[in-house]
Structure 1
Amino acid sequence: MMLVFALMLCVPAFACLAMAMERHQETLFGALLSAAASRVLRCAGWSALFVALWLAVAGKGWALGLVWYSGCTSLGAGIVYGLLIVFAKRMSAR
């Protein structure tokens, strides 16, 4: 069960990291966020990734946990990247 939580944490973690980038802020919000808001998003994203790592290692041990974590981060980043592409295409179509 902890492994599923690790996977579920990776998607919002990468979403926070993406929203902390100026390029994605302009795409998503139409304006830049404050430096403090970007810092909070960046800290939240990295914290969630560390918690996901802890959950994966606690669930499977260091050997398989790191492999599982690598898969979770790849899948989470891919999902966020795909959603950013879809959102940018929809915003440019308007």
Structure 2
Amino acid sequence: MIGQVFWLTHAVLFLLALVGFACLALSMIRHQEDLFGHALNALLTRGLRAAGWLFLLLALWLAAASMGWSFGLTVYSGHTSAAAGLAFIALLVKSHNRERKRGRR
């Protein structure tokens, strides 16, 4: 049972970090224009930025509360690195697919 909770904590940490970085990416005008074709309004952009930081802080709190500060910060660093990398790769793939579609027309 304890092992299942341990892995569930890791999964939740990774998902919180991934959603946080996705929100931060979507709060950038460049990515908004790439994904939606236009910039979102300023209120929504600020909300996405705040939500991104909130998700990352929530992940930090969960890591520290469940694993202690020393191991929790180490785990947090790993999960945020992996989540940031995945968000970055997703943006690259989306941009590459969009460029391929433009080239076919």
Q: Give the alignment's TM-score, normalised by structure 1.
A: 0.96
- Residue of structure 2 in register with 1:90 after alignment: 97
Q: Which has the higher contact order (CA 8 A, sep 6+)?
A: 1
Q: Which of 20, 30, 35 is matched with 1:28 structurally? A: 35
Deviation at 1:45, TM superposition (A): 0.4
- Residue of structure 2 in register with 1:16 after alignment: 23
Counterpart of 1:90 in structure 2: which amino acid?
N
- Residue of structure 1 in register with 2:48 after alignment: 41
CA distance in structure 2 between the partners assigned to 1:37 and 1:25 by the alignment: 11
Q: Which of 49, 66, 77 is matched with 2:73 structurally? A: 66
- Residue of structure 1 in register with 2:84 after alignment: 77
Cα RMSD for the two superposed structures: 0.8
Q: Give the alignment's TM-score, normalised by structure 2.
A: 0.87
Unaligned residue ranges in structure 1 (runs of 5+): none
- Residue of structure 1 in register with 2:5 after alignment: none
CA distance in structure 1 between the partners assigned to 2:97 and 2:28 by the alignment: 20
Deviation at 1:59, TM superposition (A): 1.4
Deviation at 1:36, TM superposition (A): 0.3
Deviation at 1:8, TM superposition (A): 1.2
Deviation at 1:3, TM superposition (A): 2.9
CA distance in structure 2 between the partners assigned to 1:53 and 1:66 by the alignment: 7
Identity among equivalent pairs (%)? 45
